[in-house]
Structure 1
Amino acid sequence: MSRRLRKELEAAKEIKQDQEEEEDIYQVRKERIFAPVVWQILTNGIKIQDLKEDKFQLALAMLEEHYLPSEDLGRNVDLMLDETSVQYSVKRLQYYIKEGSSLIAVTEDGEVVGLLILRTAKKNEFARVFSRAQITEGESLKKCLQVKNYINRKVDVYEHFNVDAFLRFYAVCIAPTYRKKALGFTMMKCGVDVARSLKMPVILGIFTNFKLQKLAKRLGMEVIKEVNYVDWRDEQHELIFSDPGPGNYTIALMACYTPPAPIKPRKIPERIIEMELEEAKKKKTRMDKRAELVKAGLYTRNNLLK
């Protein structure tokens, strides 16, 4: 091989390496830009992060497996036995998570173990979004939505809080093995952080059991409107939700102004800390010398240490 050909091959190799490096840098930057925001990492390695499109199907599968069968209203009307209601429930949930505000909890192995569906509601878009989202089929689903729509219509949230937008906590779903590990409350706290980041002045949710209502109160939310389970009946005066569960008495619309972010203590630069420590040492040295002079009876204005 001639020297000239060898140089050309080496130059071509260097160009190829440079192109590969540039492509790698571009890919890293692209992944960084489109990566989900991680709101919190728990001690067990679980990440609470934005729900992105690549996790939509996992999220829907989790909702169908854990949320629809156990949600208080759906469980009472045997929603899972009504195939049409299940189908349209999934469609509604899919419509809501596509908005892009929701959160998921993911283990280090990539398993989705928690989901918080969040929806923004702006006054100038409310009528259009509400009417489109309310297209439903299935008798069981209609029974669930009837009571929620009743509560929603009883309160004009925009007027009540004098705002033009709010963030709705639509659904909280936690995998059974993680339900006693405070994951639900942690996700709801991250939901408040989302409200701040989106500049939503109010957070709101309809909570169908006492446990979620208690967690909502810990976030500062108060009951705005509620319906007693025993008072919600059909045309024959029969209970629609006859088994809400122990301790569950009401379906509550709860809301509050989005609380301000906690004030973080200002971090003092290490350089300032070192200067203050040095000054404290000098002051202690002066005081020790002064104490020795006083003890020896030599403490006068002439030998006063500056």
Structure 2
Amino acid sequence: MPTSLAPVSIDELKAIAKRVRAHIVEMVYEAQSGHPGGSLSSVELGVALYWNHLRIDPANPEDPGRDRFILSKGHATPFYYAVLAERGFFSTELLKGFRKLGSPLQGHPSMQALPGIEMSGGSLGQGLSFAIGHALAGRLAGREFRCWVLLGDGELNEGQVWEAAMAIPHFGLGDRVIALVDRNGIQNDGFADRIMRTNPPAMFAGFGWKVIECDGHDMAAVDAALAEAERPDERPRVVVAHTVKGKGVSFMENNPGFHGKAPTREQLEQALAQIAEGLA
């Protein structure tokens, strides 16, 4: 079973998160396309997970005993690629090619394009079901890896999510699949609860899950929530992280317009300055 390096400190995680945020806005600016808002809201979840909880070896990304991270909200590739590069799966130099012709950094993740990608994503609602397949295969093979699945809260409008939420406890996969919800309150067309009102903690609890809630931008709280999710329980676990779309960049925060919009050069410079200073 591969393991992550020794857990890093909260201050180190925060420093990594700043680098990831800077990569995100630079990538989207250079491509003049992409999804910055939901990428920025996911940063603390991804950094805490990849450095302190995900049992992986970037030098051996095909290890059959590795934990799997499944990006169900597949449009958040700026976040995904930045985390993978910082974690050592490939060079950060590749990030400059995001969404450019011939680059492996496609707008949605492809398992064939880059090491560390576990699901070719894009169409929303599929990640939790995909994790069930991995988890059942792992059980049949006698392997103890976990599948961590990151969902967006707008994605929870998809019925397939709730079919999977029923199936995971039914098939006894609670220690093999852990769900993470980036609860930033905004989706492609606007504010999530105006489009379809949901209550993720109550809904998952109703399907028999243990619900762990946290401030998704408090790195210590996120790290503690992920640790709690790892503890054995007869129920499957879901971490509902309350986040801010566009976190770290003032003009992107809680702004539906930056779900899938690139900044101008002036906005990029403002964003990078705010990220560096931690102003937003």
Q: Could you say whether these structures have the same fold, taking a TM-score greater than 0.5 normalized by the shorter chain as the test?
A: no
Higher relative contact order (CA 8 A, sep 6+): 2
Select the structure of larger CA radius of gyration.
1
